Amino acid sequence: MSCTENESGPFVVFFLPAIVGCLTILLARRWANSQVSNTSSTAVSRRRKIIKDPLIKRPLPPIACKMVHPGAKKATGTNNKKCTYPVEDDVSGGKRVGRQTRVTPNTAPTVTLADIKLAEGPIPPKHIPFPHIPQDGPLLFEVLMFMFTLAATGLQFLNLYRTTWWLPNSYTNQAMNFYLIDPHLVAFIITLLFRRLLLSISLVILRMMLPPKLMPQAVVAARMFILGVILGALAWCTYFIMLKYPLLKIFYLCYPAVVYVLLFGFQSSPFLELNNSEAPPLHCCTHDPGQVRAEVEVLRHDFNMRVKKILFNSVSGAYYSSFIPCCFAQPYLYYEVYGASQQIAFVLGGLFGRYVSQLLGSAFCDVPHRAALHLGRWDPLPATDVSGEIPEWSEDKLWSAGARVRCGGAGYAAASPTVAARPGCPEHIRFHSVFINPSKLLCLLLSLHLSLIVLQLCLLFSSIPWHNFLSIVILLFINYYSLFKMVRDYLVAWKVYRAENIIQDKNNTISISN
> Does pLDDT of 62 surpass 50?
no
Question: For residue 225, what are the contacts with CB-CB under 8 A and spacing of at least 6?
Answer: none
pLDDT for 282: 78
Last residue of a domain, one of 108, 123, 140: 108
Question: 215 and 206 in contact (C-beta within 8 Å)?
Answer: yes
If 0-12 CB within 10 Å is exposed, 13-18 middle and 19+ buried, where does residue 314 land?
A: buried
Using 50, 70 and 90 to split pLDDT, how confident is the model at 68? very low
> Does pLDDT of 107 surpass 80?
no
Q: Which of 409, 404, 398 is nearest to 379 (CA)?
A: 404
Q: How far is CA 466 from the centre of its chain?
A: 37
Question: 192 and 229 in contact (C-beta within 8 Å)?
Answer: no
pLDDT for 363: 87
Q: Do the domain assignments include residue 487?
A: no
Mean pLDDT over each residue of the chain, to the nearest integer: 78
Q: Do the domain assignments include residue 182?
A: no
3-state secondary structure 318-339: HHHHHHHHHHCCCCCCCCCHHH
As a whole number of angstroms, the distance between CA 267 and CA 272 comes to: 10
Higher-pLDDT residue of 398, 281:
398
> Does pLDDT of 441 surpass 70?
yes
What is the total count of domains within the chain? 2
Q: What is the percent of the chain with per-residue pLDDT over 90, rounded to a whole number?
A: 41
Question: 344 and 450 in contact (C-beta within 8 Å)?
Answer: no
pLDDT for 418: 87
Indicate left, alpha or beta for 48 from its phi (over 0: left) and psi (-120 to 50: alpha).
alpha
Integer Rg of the chain from CA? 31
pLDDT for 20: 54
Using 50, 70 and 90 to split pLDDT, how confident is the model at 77? very low
pLDDT for 278: 54
Higher-pLDDT residue of 500, 81:
500
Q: Do the domain assignments include residue 13?
A: no
Using 50, 70 and 90 to split pLDDT, how confident is the model at 43? very low
3-state secondary structure 91-123: EECCEEECCEEEEEECCCCCCCHHHHHHHHCCC
Q: Residue 377 CB: number of other CB atoms within 10 A?
A: 19
For helices 362-375 and 438-460, give the axis angle rounded to 10 degrees: 150
For helices 289-318 and 337-359, give the axis angle rounded to 10 degrees: 150
Q: Which of 21-30, 70-79, 477-486 is the least confident region? A: 70-79
Per residue in 313-341, pLDDT (tens digit) is: 999 999 999 999 999 998 888 888 888 99
Question: 310 and 352 in contact (C-beta within 8 Å)?
Answer: yes
Higher-pLDDT residue of 177, 61:
177
Q: Do the domain assignments include residue 335?
A: no
Give the N- to C-terminal CA distance of the chain in Å, as an integer: 76
As a whole number of angstroms, the distance between CA 230 and CA 188 comes to: 10
Indicate left, alpha or beta for 77 from its phi (over 0: left) and psi (-120 to 50: alpha).
left
Q: Do the domain assignments include residue 396?
A: yes
Q: Do the domain assignments include residue 97?
A: yes
> Does pLDDT of 430 surpass 80?
yes
Per residue in 285-310, pLDDT (tens digit) is: 888 888 999 999 999 999 999 999 99
Last residue of a domain, one of 415, 436, 462: 415
> Does pLDDT of 269 surpass 70?
yes
- Burial state string for 110-128 with b = 16 or more CB within 10 A and e = fewer than 16: eeeeeeeebeeebbbbbbb
Range of the structural domain that residue 96 is part of: 66-108
pLDDT for 23: 63
> Does pLDDT of 108 surpass 50?
no
Q: Where are the beta strands (DSSP E) in 166-282?
A: none
Consecutive H or E run containing 19 = helix 16-38
Using 50, 70 and 90 to split pLDDT, how confident is the model at 75? very low
Q: What is the DSSP string of 128-174?
A: PPPPP-----HHHHHHHHHHHHHHHHHHHHHHHHB--TTSTT-S--S
Question: 82 and 104 in contact (C-beta within 8 Å)?
Answer: yes
Last residue of a domain, one of 53, 83, 108: 108
- Residues forming a β-bridge with 448: none
pLDDT for 345: 94
Per-residue pLDDT averaged across 385-399, rounded?
A: 79
Using 50, 70 and 90 to split pLDDT, how confident is the model at 18? low
Q: What is the pTM for the complete model shown?
A: 0.75
Per-residue pLDDT averaged across 432-459, rounded?
A: 93
Q: Do the domain assignments include residue 92?
A: yes
Q: Do the domain assignments include residue 94?
A: yes
> Does pLDDT of 72 surpass 50?
no
Q: Which of 210-219, 240-249, 334-343, 400-409 is the least confident region? A: 400-409
Q: What is the percent of the chain with per-residue pLDDT over 70, rounded to a whole number?
A: 73
